[in-house]
A and B are shown apart, each in its own frame.
Chain A
């Protein structure tokens, strides 16, 4: 009897179970929405980049996300943290130790790591642990890389230039920051006293330039002789200094001598008086104040129309530096030249140099011949009167 009761009970149970199993199926067929309670999600901690690399001296921030199936308060901790490292969790702008995680909302927490300054370059492992009703872990791999030391490199395309005393020596240089740090670089020139050195970056004069990590900048170094420097080779040392890094380059400027002519007269007076129709000599002095002899100096003149200027020396073979040569210019004004002032330009041009000139103010005086003719005319008129008196005079 009892066996029958157990059997019956089993059958009922099975039926109930079957019915229980069949019910969703039936219901599904009937078009109703099934309501299945999801399996509760376990507590999870994750970050988007769990393995990262930083440089010595940097600090790290990790953005953590927490998810859980059931609402709970999760205590946060970091396990296996290397010695002297500090880790703080931050949320809502404050330092936190735990976070409340609800099933329908994920919690966001920031982990900030402070590394000691003497940290060794290595790969470090540690784990973030969240302990609430459940326990979740997140292993993190952090590689600390050694930083490149700051270093500068200075390159000049043409370090030796040649020019005259009037030349501005222009060196094109490239300054490269090979380090990983941005630097502010001071530019220093060590040049002879006769030179003025300036640095130019895109046309602007600079003494200090910022230069980013692994960047390079093109500089122009300009060296201008101050005064009449003597011919020779001058060394200019240029140094770029930024932080502990330093780079220097040696430049050299080769100054060749140059003739410098001046056109003047023995007494320095650039004016003269000249009569029409007469050739008048004009003494001219060609002086070489330069540092090299002037060779094959060509004399020429720009005259008013119809004037003639002849030099006793059309070409002067050589004027040594610091010497002068006297030239006579025979000036004859045009026959129809008006009396008064005219401008006459006298030029001296050395071979391969620029021409130098002086403007003379020539006062043209007309011939006094007509004045004498006038006097003669008046004398004739007086003679006519005298003749009339002697031939018509009567008592």
Chain B
């Protein structure tokens, strides 16, 4: 065994002190004014959209999946709750993590923390987990609030399948937040100024929300140009454009929640008329099939979260902390 490896070998688990970090960080998050503002914002959104949705559902009448409609029904001028989540979740996640590491640097507390019997691994992982748990806590509370308001306003309990789909939706939302959390954490490691990190995170989010759709269209037109105008060419171009937009976490998340909250959705891609021949339209998909439909999207969200964390971890481990 080479000498260099021997010097690197360490004693004990790298996760020692992890839960202490998680507990302290969560306490910080939950008592911060920043979180309070975001919580009030999300609370208002949830109450407003659910009120509007129940108003709409009461007027339109019966549906088999009425509780799922609480999340997806919009009433002018208020968009549906899922529409709000599309930008409220990234905002919250970025707010939770943009100063995770560089804040400690600037307050010169990092070396003090690391003087404790805590590995760097545990510190970073603990910070990430604390952010994720805080996000999960907030989202679960709002989820329960919406279901509760729904029961109060509609007067019926949700069915088992509705609860299962709702929980899957919650899981998707948490991991969608996880991506932005991990991204903001990477930027907080790279940039020494918290403001720069926050701005960089928001820039990436804006890029994917606003510009990525246009760019993927342009890319698809360049890679698969329509020369003759055959349907195959058009299809190839459209499929490439769709595949490219799926790089954006926003698209992944929105597709997944559509498949989860709307049981009649049978496919997320292009559907050829041939595939629809003989199909019973409007029949809801079994729960397992709906989950299967959104499974690749969840995989993408989870994998992106883990890989971004891995990137941040590598960058953090190679950094000089004794500044």
**Interface residue? A394 (CB, 8 A):** yes
* Cα of A380 to Cα of B292 in the assembled complex, Å: 20
Question: Out of A342, A361, A370, A392, which one reaches B314, CB within 8 Å?
Answer: A392
Given A342-B280, A374-B298, A392-B317, verify A385-B309 contact (CB < 8 Å).
Answer: yes
Interface SS majority for chain A: mixed
Contact with B along A364-394 (1 / 0, CB 8 A): 0110101101110110111011001100111
Q: Are B278 and A378 in contact (CB under 8 A)?
A: no
Interface string of A347-370 (1 = CB under 8 A from B): 000000000000001010110101
Assess the A393–B14 pair: CB atoms within 8 A.
yes
List 5 interface pairs A-B (beta carbons < 8 Å), by A numbering: A334-B275, A361-B280, A370-B295, A388-B314, A395-B10
Q: Give complex CA distance A392, B121 in Å.
A: 9
Contact for A341 among B283, B295, B314, CB less than 8 A: B283
Interface size on B, residues (CB 8 A): 39
A303 within 8 A of B: yes
B65 located at the interface, meaning its Cβ lies under 8 Å from any Cβ of chain A in the complex: no
CB pair B307–A368 under 8 Å, yes or no, is no
A177 to B151, CA, bound (A): 82
Chain A residues with Cβ under 8 A from B8's Cβ? 393-394
A393 CA / B292 CA spacing, docked (Å): 37
Given contacts A371-B292, A381-B303, A393-B121, contact A388 B275 (CB under 8 A): no
Instruction: Mark contacts of B281-323 with chain A using CB atoms, 8 A cut-off: 1 yes-contact digit, 0 otherwise.
Output: 0010110110011011011001100110110011001100000
Nearest opposing residue in chain B for A366, CB measure: B292
Cross-chain contact of A374 among B10, B277, B299 (Cβ < 8 A): B299
Does any Cβ of A come within 8 Å of B6's Cβ?
Answer: no
Q: CB distance A389 to B14 under 8 Å?
A: yes
CA distance A382 to B313 in the complex (A): 12
- In the complex, are the beta carbons of B299 and A378 less than 8 A apart? yes
Taking beta carbons and an 8 Å cutoff, which residues of B are in contact with A? Answer: 8, 10-11, 14, 119-121, 266-267, 271-272, 274-280, 283, 285-286, 288-289, 292-293, 295-296, 298-299, 302-303, 306-307, 309-310, 313-314, 317-318
CB-based contact B307/A384 at 8 Å = yes
Distance in Å from the Cβ of A368 to the closest Cβ of chain B? Answer: 7
Which residue of the partner chain, among A303, A306, A341, contacts B280 with CB atoms under 8 Å? A341
Is A167 positioned at the interface, with any CB of B under 8 Å from its CB?
Answer: no
Write the nearest CB–CB distance from B322 to chain A, whole angstroms: 13
Contacts A303-B278, A363-B286, A374-B298 given; does A388 touch B317 at CB 8 Å = yes
Q: Does A117 contact B (CB under 8 A)?
A: no
Please, which residue of chain A has its CB at the minimum distance from the CB of B278?
A304
Please judge, given known A-B contacts A343-B280, A381-B306, A394-B10, whether A338 and B121 are in contact too, CB under 8 Å.
no
Chain A residues 141-156 with CB under 8 Å of chain B are none
Option from B293, B309, B318 in Cβ contact (under 8 Å) with A392 = B318
A305 on the B face (CB < 8 A): yes
Which residues of chain A have C-beta atoms less than 8 A from B272's C-beta? Answer: 336
A304→B10 contact, CB < 8 A = no
Chain A residues near B11 (CB, 8 Å)? 395
B310 contacts across to A, CB distance below 8 A: 381, 384-385, 388
> Contacts A340-B289, A370-B295 known; A388 to B10 CB distance under 8 Å?
no
Decide yes or no whether A136 CB sits under 8 A from chain B.
no
Q: How far is the CA of A393 from the CA of B118 in the complex (A)?
A: 12
Q: How far is the CA of A303 from the CA of B276 in the complex (A)?
A: 12
- Report Cα–Cα, A361/B286, bound state, in Å: 13
Q: Which of A306, A374, A389 contacts B274 (CB 8 A)?
A: A306
- Closest CB in chain B relative to A383 CB, distance in Å: 10
